[in-house]
């Protein structure tokens, strides 16, 4: 009897909730998404860029890194942020997604061939395991010596 009652409640409650979800998503898209999403992405990227400049200052000081425009902006979800750097003969993408930091590297001659920095260092056999990082300080500790 309990399972039948649960199924009956779900059958009654589910359609209005699905309709409400549809209406809210469409309302957000119509009223806010076209201007708010871009603003949120830009703000998130600016804050992340400031953190990168502070924590990974050696890239800017020693290798004259500069921030370049992303080919496409990330979606405005959770705490995702993406910064692309050009430093000497390398391109770096540093992104944050749900608290995890990942750094990828590419050659400017092959700009769409990205590889995780920890994987590249692992292949170079310098004793670094493939990993994601929980903060920029951990990333700096691994990347700066190499």
Q: What are the extents of the domains in the chain?
A: 42-143
Q: Tell which wins on pLDDT, 112 or 22.
A: 22
Q: Is 53 exposed, middle or buried (0-12, 13-18, 19+ CB in 10 A)?
A: middle
| Residue range 19-36, pLDDT digits in tens | 999 999 999 889 988 888
pTM of the model: 0.74
**Which are the contacts of 126, defined by CB distance < 8 A and separation ≥ 6?**
146
**Angle, alpha carbons 107-108-110 (nearest 5°):** 65
Of the pLDDT bands very low, low, confident and very high (cuts 50, 70, 90), residue 75 is low
């Amino acid at each position: 009897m309990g399972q039948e009652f649960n199924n009956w409640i779900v059958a009654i409650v589910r359609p209005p909730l699905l309709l409400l979800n549809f209406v809210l998503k469409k309302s957000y898209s119509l009223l806010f998404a076209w201007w708010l999403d871009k603003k949120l992405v830009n703000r998130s990227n600016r804050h992340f860029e400031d953190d990168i400049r502070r924590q990974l200052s050696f890239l800017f000081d020693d290798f004259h890194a500069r921030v370049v425009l992303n080919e496409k902006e990330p979606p405005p979800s959770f705490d995702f942020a993406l910064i692309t750097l050009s430093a000497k003969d390398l391109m770096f993408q540093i992104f944050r997604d749900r608290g995890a930091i990942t750094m990828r590297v590419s050659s400017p001659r092959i700009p769409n061939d990205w590889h995780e920095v920890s994987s590249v260092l692992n292949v170079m056999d310098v004793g670094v395991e493939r990993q994601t990082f929980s903060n920029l300080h951990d990333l700096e500790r691994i990347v700066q010596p190499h």
